[in-house]
Amino acid sequence: MAKGTLYLIPVPLAEQAEKASYTLFHLELINHIKEYIVENEKTARKFLKEAGLKTPQNQLLIHDYGKHARDKVNYQELFAAALKGENVGLMSEAGCPGVADPGADVVFEAHKRGIKVVPLVGPSSILLSLMASGFNGQNFCFLGYLPIDKGARTKKIKDIEQESAREKRTQIFIETPFRNNQLLSELLKTAKPQTKLCIACNITADDEYIYTQTIEKWRNQPIDLHKKPCIFLLFAG
């Protein structure tokens, strides 16, 4: 029996950004798939509705892959339909499944079972910010979160700045939104004046803010990033 396909379905990064986040193929696909693995059921159902879902939502089977359910997942049960030939969708809370996202584990388990994995076009905050930064797009590194400990974070900033200068590498990292201002303060205090910093905030939203300038200029331009989804990009090359 032929196995089904696991489709990796990106979710918009911001409110009312649906039309800029999916293609006609997304509409065709979501009205075909009846089973989903999701990080956040509420977010997933909202996206499906706004994307043009015509199937009654009570006919959908939603598997919870949120942080409280993740350790108890039985992957054989999770992929039971796919192993019998049914297609399944995987959605994160926002952005692309599997990229800085726990959905990567689901994808790996699908490969182990010989289930075809198909990634769909959609918004990635990492790539969108890199595109708009003006930094090196041929040599870049996504670091995820920098250390929370102040001393370790200061050392990490110095290390990645030196590596960027040496390798001409764009360094990309994130922070929990309520700690953005602390991270920015540390960057401005630690990095060299001529090192360049791009801040990409609320990507794809109506109030999207993406700006690149030197650390020295950022020091003279106060900005409040509290509780705003941001990507930070540093380039010293």
CB 204 within 8 A of CB 14: yes
* pLDDT range class, residue 43, cuts 50, 70, 90: confident
pLDDT digits (tens, 9 = 90+) for 152-203: 999 999 999 999 999 999 999 999 999 999 999 999 999 999 999 999 999 9
pLDDT digits (tens, 9 = 90+) for 91-126: 998 899 999 888 999 999 999 999 999 999 999 999
pLDDT digits (tens, 9 = 90+) for 52-67: 899 999 999 999 887 7
CB 90 within 8 A of CB 9: yes
pTM of the model: 0.92
Mean pLDDT of the chain: 94
Q: What distance in Å separates the CA atoms of residue 201 and residue 174, rounded to the nearest whole number?
A: 11
16 pLDDT higher than 90: no
In terms of pLDDT, which residue wins out, 18 or 117? 117
